Amino acid sequence: MGVCEGRVVIVTGAGNGLGRAYALGLAAEGAKVVVNDLGVGTHGEAGLTKGAAEKVVDEIRAMGGEAVANTDDVADWEAGGRIVKTALDTFGDLHAVVNNAGFVRDRMFVSCTPEEWDAVIRVHLRGHFCTARHAVDYWRAQQKAGKTVDARIINTSSGAGLQGSIGQSAYSAAKGGIASLTLVQAAELARYGITANALAPNARTRMTQEAFGERMSQAENSFDVYAPENTAPLVTWLCSTQSAFVTGQVFELQGGKIFLSEGWTDSPAEDKGARWHAGELTPVVQRLIAARHPAKPVYGA
C-alpha cells in the first residue's frame, strides 16, 4: 500500500516536467490525481502543448492508477473553483493541492514591460491563490461540520525567489511572494487541519533548459541529478498523512540532496539605547554585515 493510498490530490501544471513527475509519483503511491494543465508554452503561449493533461492521465491509467484531466486556468478565480469541483465530482473528496503551474518571461529589469510583469505575477501568485483558496473553503466547511481534516497545500517557490536571479525580476518577486504566502498559510490554517509547505526544486524542466542549457543536460551512465522525478518522492510524502507534523517549511532539492531553507531571521544587533545619528551608522552597519551569516549569492551574479 502506497503512502498516499486513497488520497485525492490536485496537481496544477501537471502536463510536463515537474508537474508530470509529481502526478505520476503520486499515482504510483495510491493517490487519485486531478491532472491540471492549460496546455501553454514556457512563456504562456496558448495551445503549444494542448492535450498534455490527457496524456498524463492516460499514463496513470495505463499503470493502474486513477486520474482525471482538467484544463482550467489556475489564475482565474472561477476556474480555480472548477478545478476543485473536478476533484469532488470525480473522486468525492480532496486532500491536497500541489501548486506547480507557471511560466517565465526572462528579461533584465530595465527591459521588463508592465505586460510581462503582470503576466508572470498573475500565473504564479494569483495562480497559487485561486485553486488553494477554493480548496480551503471546502476543508474549512468540513472542519466546521465536525469532520476530521488532514489536508495539504504544497506551493512552488524557487531559488530565484529565495536568493534572486539576474534576468528574472518578475519571476523572482513572484516566487519570493509564494514563500511568504506559505508561511502565512501555515500559521492561519493549522486550526482547520491544513498544513502548508513549499518547494524550491532544482530540476530539468522546459523553463530551466532554456535558461541553463548544458548544465541541465541529461546525465549518462550516472545519477541524473536534474531529473524532475527526483523531486516527486518529497511531494508525494508531503501530500500523505505522514507529513502532518511539518508545516511552514521551504524545502530545497537537487538530485539526492534535500534541505530546509532557514529563511529570514534576526541577525546580531547593536543597541545604542537612544536614537542613532545618520553620521554614525556606517561602522555600525559594517559590523552587522560582518557578523551575520553570509547570504547565498544571487543566481547569475
Determine how many CB atoms are found less than 10 A away from the CB of residue 104: 26
Residue of 32, 138, 157, 158 marked active site = 158
Rounded CA-CA distance 222/233 in Å is 20
| Choice among 22, 138, 171, 226 that is catalytic | 171
Burial class of residue 254, CB neighbours in 10 A (0-12, 13-18, 19+): middle
8 A C-beta contact, residue 230 and residue 256: yes
Q: Give the C-alpha separation, 154 to 238, whole Å.
A: 7
In this structure, what C-alpha cell is assigned to residue 279? 553620521
A 10 A CB-CB count for 33 gives 31
Question: Which is catalytic among the residues 175, 240, 261, 299?
Answer: 175
Give dist(CA 47, CA 182) in Å, integer.
31
- Per the document, the length of the chain is 301
Can you point out the beta strands (E) in the chain?
A: 8-11, 32-36, 66-70, 96-98, 151-156, 194-201, 250-254, 257-260
Residue 299 annotated among the catalytic residues of the structure: no
Displacement of CA 260 from its chain's centroid (Å):
14
User: Is 175 among the catalytic positions?
Assistant: yes
**Residue positions annotated with a catalytic role:** 158, 171, 175
